[in-house]
Structure 1
Amino acid sequence: MKTSCRSKSSLSSKMRIEAFALQIFCLVSAHGAIADQAARILQFSTSRMEMQCHHQDSKVHRRSHIDHAMKVSPQDGMKEADKVSELPGQPGRALFDQYAGYVTVNSTSGKALFYYFAEAAEDPSTKPLVLWLNGGPGCSSLGGAMLEIGPFFVNSDNRTLSTNKYAWNNVANMLFLESPAGVGFSYSNTTSDYNNTGDSSTATDSYTFLVNWLERFPEYKGRDFFITGESYGGHYIPQLANTILSNNKITNAPFINLKGVAIGNAYLDDNTNTRATMDYFWTHAMISREAHQAVQKNCSFNGTYTGGCRTAITAANMELGIIDPYNIYASVCWNASNPQELHGMAANTDPCALYYIQTYLNNPEVQRALHANTTGLKRPWTDCSDIITPENWKDAPVSMLPSIRRLISSEVSTWLYSGDVDSVCPVTSTQYSLDLLGLPTNSSWRSWYSDDDQVGGYVIGYKGLVFATVRGAGHMVPTYQPRRALTLFSSFLQGKLPPE
């Protein structure tokens, strides 16, 4: 007889899952824990499992896209005010222009979203405009810039910057948006906004941000526009893209000239992701045969999580040990105050980098250079918000696959890519989602190569969608494989499969 979802054992299972996630995914330093994108998506997944277990079936959770009218405000003089002359600790004069500041998306509540913009290093007038969105929900795209694809990285001294050789502004004009309000430097003067956040309001505000930002930077109106991101960007990106398409149809003009979307290690479907994670653990020798068989026996992955299923998942998780879920072969940061105390640091990857970024972005001199409104913020910058959490996230579709189908039918170039050593949103999850989409194959599975003549991963072309893996990359692909990530990104922008 199966245990009821509401039983005592079920609730204790939830607490054990959450405690385990916090134990292994909130990396501990002498200065305390930093919530990261992997921990956040795991917390979100756990809360979704609890919601489904209790059969909460609000229609708002089933919404798959949002339509909103444009709200444009005067932006005269604001571009010049947002110009960043130089970031503290910057290694010499940048060969590109940088901007940072706020776009108000709701003047009544005083809601303002923060952005950082790095123009292309060469010929920005000929390069596309690309929006990057980190996931969470509730994690910072500015953090993504400084950890993954932006022009600069923060050094271990917490004060100086180094140049990112494989920055994506080598090939595009890169716009990083901290969304929703309550994330990073973004804020609202009405605190109740923080408790009324979800997929719908995030898409609304991001769209409002874009149309006003384009008024501030009119030279980018009509420019080829792409949206990229990762993780919970699997929700953010399709919903924003469909909002753009819907409003373009309303205005009968491509106000935002959307050409394509690319999502890395995407969180697309609640049930698929949970099943795929358990299968990934088993196929990578991380859990025992018995643990995997118990999950298979007790879990149907159809939206209902019984007590027996939750117990089996908890038992499987407990076998993992303390690992970095972003990259199952990397090491965790044990002591950020003493970088020498790293246990087997992965090549070219510093597991304590988030601590350097947090310290740097909370430096008043840095905040002044970025035009951050610390008076309105009333809290320190963190990579993932402590006020935008899975528990107060109001709406999210169970599956984003209907939104992906809409993009494909609208002939928007749609790419999904997966670092193959991520266990948070593993490659198996994307593959299972592709099975559900059931798209015909246009180009057979093959290897692709980066410019060092090494296999960068594998790629397959479907009708309307490209799926690529990145060999040796974790949850945040550019962090672990920057050269391969830039090759893949360049191919995406060019609309062709990565090189053979």
Structure 2
Amino acid sequence: TLGGNKATGRGPLQEEPQEGDFDSVSFLSRGKDLCDPAVKQVYGYFSGSNGRRLFFWLFESRSNPAKDPLVLWLNGGPGCSSMIGLFLENGPCTINEYGNDTKLNPYSWNTRANLLFVDQPAGAGFADGPPVTNGSFGAADDLYMALQEFFAKHTQYRGKDFYITGESYAGNGHYVPAIGHKILRENTIGIEPHIPLRGIAIGNGWMNAAIQVLDYPEMALQSCTAPHIATRKEYEYIGLYNVYDMRITFKDGSTGDIGDPRLERYLNRRDVQRKLGVHKHFESCSNVGDFSIDGLTPTETLLPDLLDAEIRVLLYDGDQDYICNWIGYEHVANEMDWPGRDAFLRAPRYEYEGDDGISVGLLRSIRWKKKGMFGFFQVYRAGHLVPTDQPEAALLMINDFIDGIMGPVPFTTTAESGNNSSEL
């Protein structure tokens, strides 16, 4: 089937758009028989600069689409498709074991939010066109153009809170903070349509290489599964461990990757591609140009401007990820130069519990000014893909972040006018 969670049968195929016919490809809305048949979906292409096109897939909220916020999800790489997030992490459905159908995900982030996935930059997933030439900031320019087009055509989202989320390269600042900062800058000078950015959540990010590489030995020593790579000689054999999840080992010496052959099998089916209006061989991760220098650029420097504008910022990390480990990531959060640094360093860590009273992670957060927030969340028993490893905890996290309750109630906060205690 096309992924409509049916045992038999085949959904109707739509007339295939012609190459170059942008109007027939942009903003397709073709029923409810893909992935989650119970919600309205819109998919198609956004226009970028220089002939680049970014593929998107929007799922309305399962709760109250008219009132719920809009959440954008971006995968990293650079060059990895956000279809990884959709089908393997926090989307409305997941790929079955054979890669020929989907099943509903009860922990999808569209449980209480309208959820938007975008393949970007050009070359990633179904996005096409010439590669960007100036790294993440060029990618941010294209994504900003795409979001402008989205909000111009989908006016119902202009009055809703908008959140940008992502992980790895997306989370490391080379996508999420870059586009967040771009939106803030354009909003400040009055560019329309105004994009109502409310917060960003950055998972397992690589924000400052100079800081984070220094914590690899510490992470190896603290882990009960990775002490064997603590010496230089044994470090050469790091391939025995999945650097995205230290609980997994490989006998073939590979370090694993983020993609999944089931995803590529499903999204390369002719009937699925015709339904989506795409004409491209799908790969989970692709070469999207030279981002080598870009990856060394510290990007936590973009966050203070967002915090000053009272935009919420949450950094989160799975405690079993080695490559983007929580020790180095928290080190970046601690060293970030901003007016709230001292208050953040003084804030206590506390166990973050689910509805069943079981702790799902360790949180430290402060409120900033009246509406802002900065927090660091260490997620227990999760690797590089937190929503995959701990889907229930990830859903709790994003819902609480949107609701503004990622913190003790009440908890110590700080503002330019002085300290106070308040519920976030």
Give the TM-score category using the shorter length: 0.7 to 0.9
- Give me the whole-angstrom Cα distance separating, in 1, the residues matched to 2:292 and 2:261: 26
Counterpart CA distance in 2 for 1:393 and 1:187 is: 21
Question: Are 2:151 and 2:193, in contact at CA under 8 Å, matched by a contact in 1?
Answer: no
Q: CA deviation at 1:84?
A: 3.0
**Aligned mates of 2:38, 2:347 — CA distance in 1:** 39
Q: What is the match of residue 214 of structure 1?
A: 151
Distance in 2 (CA, whole Å) between partners of 1:130 and 1:289 is 38
Counterpart in the other structure of 1:381 = 282
Work out whether residues 240 and 251 of structure 2, in 8 Å CA contact, stay in contact via their aligned partners in 1: no
Of residues 166, 172, 194 in structure 2, which corresponds to 1:255? 194
**What is residue 323 of structure 1 aligned with on the other side?**
241
Q: Residues 362 and 499 from structure 1, CA distance in 2 versus in 1: closer, same or farther, beyond 3 angstroms? A: farther
Q: How far 1:455 moved relative to its partner? A: 0.8
C-alpha distance after superposition, 1:96-133 (max 9, x if no partner): 11111101112xx3211100111101210100011111
Structure 2 match to 1:94: 37
Matched ranges for 1:298-313 at <5 A: 312=232
| Count of aligned pairs | 372
Distance 1:101 1:76, change over 3 A: closer
Equivalent pair of 1:197/1:394 in contact (CA under 8 Å): no
Q: Distance in 2 between matches of 1:127 and 1:195?
A: 33
Superposed, 1:139-150 pairs within 5 Å as: 139-150=80-91
Partners of 1:96 and 1:122 within 8 A in 2: no
Secondary structure of 2:282's aligned partner: coil
- CA shift for structure 1 position 254: 7.4
What are the ranges of 5 or more consecutive residues in structure 1 without an aligned counterpart? 1-74, 292-311, 335-349
**1:130-152, Cα deviation, whole Å (9 max, x unpaired):** 11111111111112111100001
Match of 1:476 in 2: 385
Distance 1:195 1:222 in 2: 31
Q: Which residue of 2 aligns with 1:181?
A: 122
Identity of aligned residues (%): 29
Match of 1:344 in 2: none
Cα 1:124–1:321 change in 2 (3 A) is: same
What runs of 5+ residues in structure 2 fail to find an aligned partner?
1-21, 410-424
AA in 1 matched with 2:270? P
Tell me the residue number matched to 1:369: 275
TM-score by length of 2: 0.81
The answer to whether 1:406 aligns with 2:305 is yes
- Counterpart CA distance in 2 for 1:160 and 1:451 is 32
Residue 112 of structure 1: aligned partner: 53
Distance 1:287 1:319, change over 3 A: farther
1:351 and 1:202 map into 2 onto residues whose CA distance is 23
1:25-66 deviations in whole A, cap 9, x for unaligned?
xxxxxxxxxxxxxxxxxxxxxxxxxxxxxxxxxxxxxxxxxx
CA distance in 2, matches of 1:148, 1:290: 31
Q: Is the 8 A contact 1:419 1:475 kept in 2?
A: yes
Per-residue deviation, 1:253:
7.0
Relative to structure 1, the CA distance from residue 77 to residue 216 in structure 2 (aligned partners, 3 Å threshold; closer, same or farther) is farther
2:3 equivalent in structure 1: none
Q: Is the 8 A contact 1:277 1:425 kept in 2?
A: no
- Compare the two structures and name the one with the higher helix fraction: 1
Residue 454 in structure 1 maps to residue 358 in structure 2 = yes
Please report how far the alpha carbon of residue 478 of structure 1 lies from its aligned counterpart in structure 2 after TM superposition.
Answer: 0.4
Change (3 A) 1:121 1:333: farther
Instruction: Kindly provide the amino acid, as one letter, of the partner of residue 376 in structure 2.
Output: F
